[in-house]
């Protein structure tokens, strides 16, 4: 097997096991991985962490945009009520 095939097989195995199980196995699991697989597992966990951080950043941006949109809608509503009230 080539390195790419080993990585693809490892990635498939890690995704099937889940992040928590891989981390537990690396730190103090019953079947600690051999060194090359352990290093790849650490790299895979870091990639997942970076992906999660990116996703959280996108979510924060979306929530911030939704918040300010709601604030603008409330202000527009208040201005509309005030204009209607004083335009009589």
33 close to 26: Cβ distance less than 8 angstroms: yes
Where are the domains positioned within the chain? Answer: 3-86
Which pLDDT tens digits describe the chain residue by residue (88 residues)? 677 888 888 888 888 888 888 888 887 766 667 778 888 888 999 999 999 999 999 999 999 999 999 999 999 999 999 999 988 7
Residue 18 vs residues 3, 28, 40, 45: alpha-carbon distances, Å: 22, 16, 15, 10
Determine the distance from the C-alpha atom of residue 43 to the mean position of all C-alpha atoms in its chain, rounded to a whole number: 16
The predicted model scores a pTM of 0.67
Could you give the CA distance from residue 53 to residue 49 in angstroms, rounded to a whole number? 6
């Amino acid at each position: 097997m080539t390195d790419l095939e080993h990585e693809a097989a490892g990635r498939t195995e890690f995704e099937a096991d889940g992040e928590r199980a891989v981390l537990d196995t690396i730190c103090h699991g019953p079947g600690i991985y051999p060194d090359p697989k352990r290093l790849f597992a650490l790299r895979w966990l870091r990639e997942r962490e970076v992906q999660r951080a990116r996703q959280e950043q996108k979510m924060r941006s979306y929530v911030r945009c939704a918040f300010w949109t709601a604030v603008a809608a409330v202000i527009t509503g208040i201005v509309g009520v005030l204009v209607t009230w004083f335009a009589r």
